[in-house]
Structure 1
Amino acid sequence: MNKMHPTDKDLNLLIIFEALMETRSVSKAGERLNLSQPSMSHALSKMRRAFDDPMFVRVKNEMQPTLKALEVAEPVRQALSLARRQIFSRAALDLRTSSRQFTICMTDVGETCYMPMVINAVRNHAPGVRLRTVSPIVEKLEEGLESGGVDLAIGYFPDITNGGVFQQRLLRNSGFLCITGDKDIAARGELDLVSFQTALHIAVRTEGRSQEVIEKAMAAMGIHRNVVATIPHYLGLLTIIPQTGLTAIVPMDLISAFEGKEGITALPLPFASPSVEVIQIWHKRNHEDLSHRWLRTLVRDTLQRRVIG
């Protein structure tokens, strides 16, 4: 007896077999599968050759299965059920029992301003899910998104031009302000443009690009600052500013990290502050993945509620 081998037979015949078993009619099975009568007749002929058996014979007004068809009916049903459930199913994920880890790329600003809210939201909805952050170096970020090493990037990324990624706007931040350890400026309680330009500054140039927004705005207005030191992380200012009396520009979103700290005074900039658009980026390979869609939606809703709130 010949057997049907998946390597050399049309597996679509299994779907046609299932429809015939359920409808007992070539025409009704064809309607269900959107196949014409000639296509169904051709498929039935192929099925008979593949199984070396008539499979279905006409009895009165129905196509009745043969003993061979009845023999393979349950294995075929199980195989198709498994494929639909495990391969093609788009049912909602049960993330409450998932222990999956997601890797998110963001700067120290993002980790300070946004990550606590994202962590709390994930813990509320999927307590077993783990989060890991990595710093954004543009070249490695694109490589990470492509390879799957990075699931999601959150921040300001003007140089990501890879056509294989999707972007979604999350929010526009509140701009920038000054913090200073200069006692004279702090005593006055305000910072005019002359004092800003004559003060000694420490600049922060992170692996992210948001600081370029304020630098370009100052250049356009012809405003200069006297930078005597540069560091790669904003949170380093917590100890540097009180001990040196320097002045720095920081994103307004970070103000809670500096307010009330001894030796640090926060003041508005003496000129109009630009804002920065925060986006999330993901690779097209993950665009339709249910778990990634869940994470992106959670991040978007969480951060946008923060702005509304």
Structure 2
Amino acid sequence: MDFHGIDLNLLAAFDALMSERNVTRAATQVGVSQPAMSAALSRLRKLFGDPLFLRSAAGLLPTPRARELAESISQALRQLEATLISKPDFVPGEAKLTVNLGLSDYPAFVLLPALLEALAEQAPHISINVHAFSDRDQAVALLDAGAIDAAIGMPPTHPDGRILTLPVLRDEFVTIIASRHPAARGGMNMKTFLSLPHALASPEGQRHGLVDQMLAQQGYKRTLALTLPHMFALPGVVARTNMTATVMKRVALTSPAGRMLALFPPPVALPEIVFHLIWHRRSDGNPAQQWLRTLIESVASGL
């Protein structure tokens, strides 16, 4: 079989560059010096007759040709690795390690308790170090930097081959009001909805959310009485005031104030919200992280 002089180490360098988008980090991943990785990139450009990666403020940006090559090269390298290199079995009950997990507010409140319960039963020596994030692309930055092993949140704004995602949690919106409020007995139609003062959770501090966008499409506008950054504070606020809020259903159901609330379908159509498990391609084949991702998916499906 003639590979026309192609060095498999060059393909490993390409895979690392595609994964890391940074010469220094790619060099570390494959265990060579930065000059050696720069030299490998020069050889790759000559081999494929394409720049492959262009420098930018965000790191190395792959060209269309690089994106075209990436998946095939990655699959070939993973298959070779699986064939030639035997990895020790991962035994959860015996493993002693710390996992860095990025969580937005929703999975931290809804999923984390059940995940920790499952870990205590199946892998008691694995500890979790949680990193909070609010912006969906902040999770990608944390993964790129190696600060976290995986994240659970909204999928990245710009999907990319180096970042892998799997939908694990789904929820729907409900409109909540204090159960003692007169409107709770009459139902939540559009007229009642618009007559009430509204509270909005907005981590970025904006006074315009998804509900406002959907209302505007129908020519309506609601009155905002409160904007706050924390979604899980809303049920307690609504239970003790005459305000209403539109939140994800589990936010209301898991709140200590949940028994003081009445829940209604929003009078405006809102999409289902899907949270994703997000990880970097560099860790895709790691046995410990593969096991943890499977556990997270299993726990999430049981909620």
Relative distance call for 1:101 and 1:216 in structure 2 (3 A) is farther
Does 1:107 find its partner at 2:81? no
- Any idea what SS the aligned residue of 1:90 has? coil
The answer as to 2:199 corresponding to 1:199 is: no
> Residues 1-309 of structure 1: matches in 2 within 5 Å?
88-136=85-133, 137-173=135-171, 175-181=172-178, 183-206=180-203, 214-258=211-255, 261=258, 263-306=260-303
Kindly, what percent of the aligned residue pairs are identical? 23
The letter for the 1-side match of 2:142 is: G
Distance 1:96 1:239, change over 3 A: same
Deviation at 1:261, TM superposition (A): 4.4
Distance 1:212 1:88 in 2: 50
Listed one character per residue, the Cα deviations across residues 33-89 of structure 1 (whole Å, up to 9, x for unaligned) are xxxxxxxxxxxxxxxxxxxxxxxxxxxxxxxxxxxxxxxxxxxxxxxxxxxxxx943
* Comparing 220-229 and 254-263, the one that deviates more: 254-263
Task: For residue 244 of structure 1, give the secondary structure of its aligned residue in structure 2.
Answer: coil
- CA RMSD in angstroms, aligned pairs only: 2.9
Q: Structure 1's 182 and 203: CA in aligned 2 closer, same or farther, altered over 3 A?
A: farther
Q: Which has the larger radius of gyration?
A: 1
Q: Conserved in 1, the CA contact under 8 Å of 2:114 and 2:299?
A: yes
**Which amino acid in the other structure matches residue 153 of structure 1?**
A
Please tell me whether the aligned partners of residues 176 and 214 of structure 1 are also in contact (alpha carbons under 8 angstroms): no
Q: Quote the residue 2:45 is aligned against.
A: none
Q: Secondary structure at the match of 1:96?
A: coil
Query: TM-score, normalising length from structure 2?
Result: 0.63
Aligned mates of 1:126, 1:186 — CA distance in 2: 48
Pairwise CA distance, 1:216: 4.2
- Where does the alignment leave 5 or more consecutive residues of structure 1 unmatched? 1-86
- Paired residues, number: 218
Residue 241 and residue 305 in structure 1: after superposition, are their counterparts in 2 closer, same or farther (change >3 A)? closer
TM-score (ref. length: structure 1): 0.62
What per-residue deviation string (whole Å, max 9, x for no partner) do you get for residues 201-227 of structure 1? 0100136xxx95555444444443211
1:238 touches 1:258 (CA, 8 Å); kept in 2?
Answer: yes
What SS does the corresponding residue of 1:272 show, helix, strand or coil?
coil
Per the alignment, in what secondary structure is the counterpart of residue 240 of structure 2?
helix
Closer/same/farther in 2, CA of residues 105 and 185 from structure 1, 3 Å limit: farther
Report if the CA contact (8 A) 2:136-2:154 is conserved.
no
How far is the alpha carbon of 1:263 from its aligned partner? 4.7
Letter in 2 for 1:284: R
